[in-house]
Amino acid sequence: MMRISEISTIKPKTPEQARIDTLAKGVDRARDALSVERNKQKITKAQRQIQTAHVPPMRP
């Protein structure tokens, strides 16, 4: 069993630390959004290739 004195207190962050954390989280969100967008474009490109591959050529 832990005693109350053994539990470490969480100190509030300084404004500078809070700003750094916010910026770092923004970078992570931007990185994730970029990854999602790249994957979305790859899927769209692959779907177009599949559609054009299945279309039989027109004969005159």
* Per-residue pLDDT reduced to its tens digit, 6-16: 667 788 999 99
Q: Which residue in the block uniquely carries the two structure tokens 């994957």?
A: 39
Contacts of 13 (CB under 8 A, 6+ apart): 21
Side-chain half-sphere of 21: how many Cα atoms within 13 Å?
A: 7
* Per-residue pLDDT reduced to its tens digit, 19-53: 999 999 999 999 999 999 999 999 999 999 998 88
* Per-residue pLDDT reduced to its tens digit, 48-59: 999 888 767 677
Say how far apart CA 33 and CA 39 lie, in whole Å: 10
- Note the pLDDT of residue 5: 63
What are the tokens at 58? Answer: 């027109």
The pLDDT of residue 1 is above 70: no
What pTM was estimated for this model as a whole?
0.62
